[in-house]
Structure 1
């Protein structure tokens, strides 16, 4: 099982890399999240945790990619907007952690997803989080109906957050 970003990177590393001057470096964060989505999903379902070694690298990777994008001519306001939206999402998720039982791994994942998506459109993080909570709620209702769980029990939210991220990323890619 892939448990570190290095293991994921070794798997995804192409045989030869060339520099493309037209590469949009702001995609580094979303590409990292896509790369670790499966390992995070499996670990969260099995162990009910999202390990820091997979969730925390999204922050420096995304920020570095956005800084490179700004240095190559993109608008710096986009980076500051994504940082602001991510900080706001982190604060709301932290409040949910404190008062509603949201896990800290989910809090960090929400902030990372928000940071990566807000660069492209400030509303994409809202789409991702909405899809995640609707999907998690629907799955919970199905599990309750099938008597596989009971009221008051918890579910692994990470897979649904990553599903929301992938749906929002797909919406971003549609012209």
Structure 2
């Protein structure tokens, strides 16, 4: 019952965020101009993904289920924003990481699953650190800092379920991104110098993995 109530609350919040941002383009900076894409799919996808994660994580501690649903609620909006301006806004990615960690800590405290939390913390430090370092080293030519900040949420949440989900989620993300890049190059819609938004693939790979392992 608590997970169902949480799903409704989180889903409504995600819908409000999606409706406001995609309708007004308030995520754009002054120099980010051009026609505003029609992201009507975001409004349909948000409650569906939240509901799917709520069902998949129904047997998990409330904190874990809430963290998964929270990620699901903001993911469609993050995908739409990154696809439009190739940027993941700090206003979403920065609060998401500590909130997810707090929910996982709550789950460990209420179920005595401290080994799972320690593994999540190790993933946060190692993978989060590697992505931040990769972003600093490659700059605009590689992973963006927004992607690295997103991993600070994805890595511990996936690691709660084990190391295999972490590998599956990240491998799936890179595989999806690589296939999309090849398709764009093959259709001459991009070339080797084109910068592609990687956030959507990180989110899709991670959400699919959570659906499989929850």
Query: 1:126 aligned to 2:167?
Result: yes
User: Equivalent residue for 2:69?
Assistant: 31
Q: How do 1:26-105 and structure 2 match up within 5 A?
A: 26-100=64-138, 101-105=142-146
* Conserved? CA contact 1:30–1:117, under 8 Å: no
Distance 2:136 2:158 in 1: 25
Per-residue Cα deviation, 1:78-136 (whole angstroms, up to 9, x for no partner) = 11210111111112112221233210000011221011111122221211111111111
Distance 2:66 2:97 in 1: 10
* Cα pair 1:28 1:61 within 8 Å, conserved: no
Q: CA deviation at 1:7?
A: 4.8
User: Structure 1 or 2: larger helix share?
Assistant: 2
Runs of 4+ with deviation above 2 angstroms:
6-12, 98-101
Q: Report the 3-state secondary structure (helix = DSSP H, G, I; strand = E; otherwise coil) of the residue aligned with 2:88.
A: coil
- Using structure 1 for the length normalisation, give the TM-score: 0.83
Unaligned runs of 5+ in 2: 1-11, 18-46, 48-59
CA RMSD of aligned residues (A): 2.3
2:182 matched residue in structure 1: 141
> For the structure 1 residues 119 and 153, does the alpha-carbon distance in structure 2 shift closer, same or farther, using more than 3 Å as the test?
same
User: Counterpart of 1:109?
Assistant: 150
Mapped pair 1:156 → 2:197:
yes
- The answer as to 2:14 corresponding to 1:8 is yes
Alpha-carbon separation, structure 2, partners of 1:23 and 1:65? 10
The whole-number CA distance in structure 1 between the counterparts of 2:61 and 2:164 is: 23
* 1:157 Cα offset (Å): 0.4
Q: Which has the higher contact order (CA 8 A, sep 6+)?
A: 1
Displacement, 1:62?
1.5
Q: Distance in 2 between matches of 1:35 and 1:165?
A: 14
Q: Distance in 2 between matches of 1:10 and 1:112?
A: 22
Which residue number corresponds to residue 17 of structure 1?
none
Larger mean Cα displacement after TM superposition, 48-57 or 140-149: 48-57
**Helix, strand or coil at the partner of 1:149:** coil
TM-score between both structures, scaled by the size of structure 2: 0.69
